[in-house]
């Protein structure tokens, strides 16, 4: 079939080229040539205009795009790339299930062959020492993210931070686990979904001192822009864990904001301040929350909560808070 260009037709905000193709068949009425209009899904006669076929199948994409960036995002040519995998998700993976396409169990000889193929596939996916290092680190980041309930955006940021550290040769003399934990902690801080060092300690495979030192090293060497942790960022999570109502959370936020204006937060743990603000607000609002319950969700000591509680009430301008501090 020969193609004949037509005009550009605007469809759904996107300009599509509506080409026509000359069909080898002839019109049943006048024996003239037939033309296939792909944009309308019709086959018509060139001479008399008889519509021979209608509702043709459109083999193009079912989505619409309004610019080149949207077109690139929606185009489906294989799985999307991701920084969560050491090879960006571009390699193939042989399924671990020893079943054929119909779900039937395969025989022993084919199982052994598949196992050998899996072994070689795994070796080829991480050929160099750097790739094996990255693969192990990204596995650690994924494991800790799941344990801490961090979103996928934080995982991707952590993988990018670790890749930068690996490219700059910052891992020499440091454990993979420590640098992976430090990368995830930095990513959580950057995304404003912070987790305290106390929360990282039970899920990390190294002790707190080691990954804290690795965190400071990564921030310094990579020049990461990380602001000091804000106690207000911990409030929603702690309030949700304690099942506090909106009034109590709002009161805690007001106490924290007044305390921060007075400089109470200087040199203090943001986790302890958030916990103390919720405890103080629960008392002022009449909620039955004990210090022990607050400490269990925030992972701070009761002494810290009592000390920060008094400081916040003394710094506030609320008359009820002033009477509570007295």
CA distances from 265 to 115, 255, 313 (A): 58, 12, 13
Query: Which domains, and CATH codes, for the chain?
Result: 129-222 (1.10.472.10), 231-323 (1.10.472.10)
pLDDT tier, 123 (very low <50, low <70, confident <90, very high otherwise): confident
CA separation for the pair 301, 309 (Å, rounded): 12
Label residue 147 by pLDDT band (50, 70, 90).
very high
Q: Which of 41-45, 94-98, 280-284 has the lowest mean pLDDT?
A: 94-98
Q: pLDDT grade, residue 16 (50/70/90)?
A: very low
Pick the more confident residue, 24 or 22.
24
The reported pTM is 0.61
B/e letters for 126-139, b = 16+ CB within 10 Å, e = fewer, are beeeeeebbeebbe
Q: Quick check: 311 pLDDT over 90?
A: no
Q: 295 a known binding residue?
A: no
List pLDDT tens digits, range 156-206: 999 999 999 999 999 888 999 999 999 999 999 888 887 888 889 999 999
The candidate with the shortest Cα–Cα distance to 154, out of 123, 108, 185, 199, is 185
Q: Tens digit of pLDDT for each residue in 271-309?
A: 888 898 899 888 888 887 888 998 888 888 889 888 888
- Residue 101 — very low, low, confident or very high, per pLDDT cuts 50/70/90? confident
With pLDDT > 70 as the criterion, what percentage of the chain qualifies? 81
Please say whether the beta carbons of 187 and 137 come within 8 A: no
Q: Where are the beta strands (DSSP E) in the chain?
A: 3-4, 8-11, 14-17, 20-26, 33-37, 42-45, 51-53
The rounded distance, in Å, linking the Cα atoms of 322 and 62 is 64
């Amino acid at each position: 079939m020969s193609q004949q260009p037509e005009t550009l037709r605007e469809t759904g905000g996107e300009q599509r080229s509506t080409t026509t193709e000359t069909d080898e068949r002839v019109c049943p009425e006048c024996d003239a040539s037939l033309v296939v209009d792909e944009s309308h899904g019709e086959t018509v006669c060139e001479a008399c205009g008889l519509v021979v076929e209608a509702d043709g199948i459109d083999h193009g994409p079912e989505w619409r795009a309004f610019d080149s960036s949207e077109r690139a995002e929606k185009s489906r040519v294989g799985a999307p790339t991701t920084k969560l995998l050491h090879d960006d998700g571009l390699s193939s993976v042989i399924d671990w299930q020893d079943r054929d396409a119909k779900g039937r169990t395969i025989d022993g000889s084919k199982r052994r062959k598949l196992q050998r193929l899996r072994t070689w596939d795994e070796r080829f996916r991480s050929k160099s020492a750097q790739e094996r290092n990255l693969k192990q680190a990204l596995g650690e980041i994924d494991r800790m993210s799941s344990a801490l309930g961090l979103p996928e955006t934080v995982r991707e940021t952590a993988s990018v931070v670790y890749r930068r550290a690996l490219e700059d040769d910052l891992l020499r003399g440091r454990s993979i686990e420590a640098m992976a934990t430090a990368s995830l902690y930095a990513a959580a801080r950057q995304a404003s979904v912070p987790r305290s060092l106390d929360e990282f300690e039970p899920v990390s495979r190294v002790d707190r001192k080691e990954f804290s030192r690795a965190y400071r090293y990564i921030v310094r060497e990579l020049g990461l822009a990380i602001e000091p942790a804000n106690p207000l960022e911990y409030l929603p999570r702690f309030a949700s864990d304690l099942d506090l109502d909106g009034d109590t959370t709002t009161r805690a936020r007001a106490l924290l904001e007044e305390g921060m204006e007075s400089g109470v937060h200087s040199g203090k743990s943001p986790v302890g301040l958030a916990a103390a603000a919720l405890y103080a607000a629960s008392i002022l609002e009449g909620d039955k929350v004990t210090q022990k319950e607050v400490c269990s969700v925030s992972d701070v000591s009761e002494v810290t909560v009592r000390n920060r509680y008094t400081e916040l009430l003394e710094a506030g301008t609320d008359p009820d808070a002033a009477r509570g501090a007295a």
